[in-house]
Structure 1
Amino acid sequence: MDLKAGLVRTALNGTARVAPRLAGRWAIDLFSNPRSRVAVKPAEEPVMRRAERGELTVNGKTVAVYRWGTGERPVLLMHGWMSRASRWSPLVHALTERGYSPVAFDGPGHGESGGRGSDVVEFRDIARRLQAEHGTFTALIGHSIGGLSAFFALHGGVAADRLVSLAAPADFDYLVQGFRAGAGLGPWAAAELRRRIEHELFPGETDAWARLSATYRPTRLTLPIMIVHDESDDVIGRDQSDRVIAAFGGQADLLVTKGLGHRRVLADPQVIEAVLDFASATDPVG
């Protein structure tokens, strides 16, 4: 066991016995803020050097934005937790080769953006701002929590012709329970984290946890959906995508990969080709 992680677990569980609200505040801080920022990989640098860079501000946090292409047929890319826009480099290269214009961002607390952390609400708000600039997206593509954020953004007014979700959870509560189990926190943490998320993300809302689900009111989303998940994903279980497929029926296609795990699906040539084929299925240019 990592010594630091063990000390944090002991401190939080001990504090919860006498001051559960204080322990909850510490726990939500750990849950909401990435432990570190990942760096750009050498293989990603050529694509990132070609990006047109900009920024916007959400909740007082500066968000780094990257654009490629001519602006025609924009595609919005939403990265996962403890990731960054550069991880989309293989797909960005392929999209621009096909005449699409990828748009990506580093979420707050990630990459070159400001802040300590972010959430699906901020990802939705960033997507709204980018749509106001670029118009309806030809495709909205998200990985991991970025995939869940994509569903949430579509319910929040963001418009796209197609949706691709890679290795994403079906419910936000899945992430909460996974964090609690991984950190070794007692049952107190689940209730306190849920209470704080409801209070801080959805004040006054009565159906917060239903809305934080990819399966929320599926009949409201009429666009074609592609779900990609690796059968050996040890971060987000394959069953999460099965739940989404069951909710959307024939509206959603499922691509199951083998041996890629949670992150390598982003750079796998076969996955990229399948995503491109799906994105261009109704594209007159494609």
Structure 2
Amino acid sequence: MDRMNMDQATALTGKALNTLSLVSPWLAGEATYRLFRLPLKRAATRDEEKRLIGQAHIEKVRVAGETAVTYRWGSGERPVLLAHGWQSRGTCFARFVPGLLAAGYSPVAYDAPAHGDATGGTTHVLAFREVIGQLAEEHGEFEAIISHSVGVMASVLALRSGVSARRLVAISQVGEFTFLFDQFCGQLGLQPRLREELRQRIESRIFPGEKDIWQRFSTTYEPSGVTVPILVIHDEDDRMVGVDQARRMAEVFGDQARLVTTQGLGHRRILDDPGVIASTLDFVTAAQSGPAEASVAGR
């Protein structure tokens, strides 16, 4: 489905939900809540990713009642976690793996529930965090976590929850938890009453008993809880997640973070860019810190 048809389908879906909410707010809320947790598609596996899967040590772990798939390349020594985003899969980092292996690291990736080859139709960020936690129990401290999009948020939550890593790379990050909610509601054009129905379900069903989730589950909340050096990479032309998310993270973490911006790569193609991969590998293999902002031209 091309972008225009997808936008039309989204608009029609939102209109239908708003109309349903006039008749049955509860039923409309249930449908909207399911849609919020539903990746609309699974990322296709490119040929290079298929070859990489064939070379991986593959295992399965139970997460939130579903079966997630994990991948490891290398000997298992000096593990580096690759944390994918929404509607993606672990092998989206395929072009990072050869360089990590050549430098003596063991890349570790996963398909979260409802993604890649994992089971399930719906999921949420806490399931991502749970997969990371299980991999940390198996592999110990990560030399680095290289994360993308919602995977950045999940990685930060995992670090706050006791997962240990020496460095964090945040690419095309979704930093504010409210961004996910606002973007979803905005794309569908949800009316205020239906937005509130959805908000209440997120709070009571995904985060029961939790307080201040809209602040606490953002990457910039209480930065003292994440003490590792951070490389923040974001494209100026990212239409899915604005670069302001990255600038905010770099600002909040100060000297602990370094911001690299690109142009012309967008939200997902950035993971295939040689300059981005080189910057990431340099950061993983050598101590880097400081607030300086760099710019890498898109390729």
Shift of 1:68: 0.3
Distance 1:49 1:174 in 2: 36
Give the structure 2 partner of residue 48 of structure 1. Answer: 53
Counterpart Cα distance in 1 of 2:110 and 2:74: 15
- Alignment of 1:217 with 2:217, yes or no, is no
What code does the residue aligned with 1:271 have? Answer: V
The aligned residue for residue 180 of structure 1 is: 185
Answering whether residue 282 of structure 2 is matched by residue 277 of structure 1, we say yes
1:158-201 CA-to-partner distances (Å, cap 9, x unmatched) read 11110111001221110111111112222233322221111112
1:9 paired to 2:19: no
Aligned partner of 2:30 in structure 1 is 25
Question: What is the aligned-residue RMSD (CA, Å)?
Answer: 1.5
What's the CA shift string for 1:228-263, capped at 9, x where partnerless?
A: 000000000000111111111111000001111101
For residues 70-105 of structure 1, what are the alpha-carbon distances to aligned partners after superposition, in whole Å with 9 as ceiling and x for unaligned? 111101111111111121100112211211101101
Q: In the TM superposition, what are the counterparts of 1:129-278 in structure 2 within 5 Å? A: 129-278=134-283
TM-score, structure 1 as length reference: 0.95
Q: Within 2, Cα distance between the matches of 1:275 and 1:123?
A: 22
1:100 aligned to 2:105? yes
| Correspondent of 1:86 among 77, 88, 91 | 91
Please give the TM-score of this superposition, normalised by the length of structure 2: 0.91
Indicate whether 1:66 and 2:71 are aligned: yes
* Partners of 1:219 and 1:163 in 2: CA distance: 14
Q: Does structure 1 conserve the Cα–Cα contact (< 8 Å) formed by 2:11 and 2:187?
A: no
Q: What CA distance in whole angstroms lies between the structure 2 residues aligned with 1:211 and 1:91?
A: 31
- Secondary structure of the residue that 1:249 maps to in structure 2? helix
Structure 2 alignment gaps of length 5 or more: 289-299
Distance, in Å, in 2 between the alignment partners of 1:21 and 1:191 is 11
CA deviation after TM superposition for structure 1 residue 6, in Å: 4.0
- Between 83-92 and 7-16, report the one with greater CA deviation: 7-16
Q: How many residues are aligned here?
A: 283
Of the structure 1 ranges 195-204 and 223-232, higher mean CA displacement relative to structure 2 is found in: 195-204
Which amino acid in 2 is paired with 1:19?
Answer: S
Tell me by how many angstroms 1:222 deviates. 1.1
Aligned mates of 2:49, 2:107 — CA distance in 1: 15
The 1-side partners of 2:147 and 2:37 are apart by: 19
* Shift in Å, 1:271: 0.6
2:191 maps to a residue whose letter is G
CA contact (8 A) 2:177 2:215 kept: no
Q: Is the 8 A contact 2:15 2:188 kept in 1?
A: no
Partners of 1:168 and 1:241 within 8 A in 2 = yes
Output the CA distance in 1 between the equivalents of 2:64 and 2:226.
Answer: 27
Deviation at 1:218, TM superposition (A): 0.4
Question: CA-to-partner distance for each residue in 1:107-136, whole Å, 9 max, x for gaps?
Answer: 100110001122111111111111111001
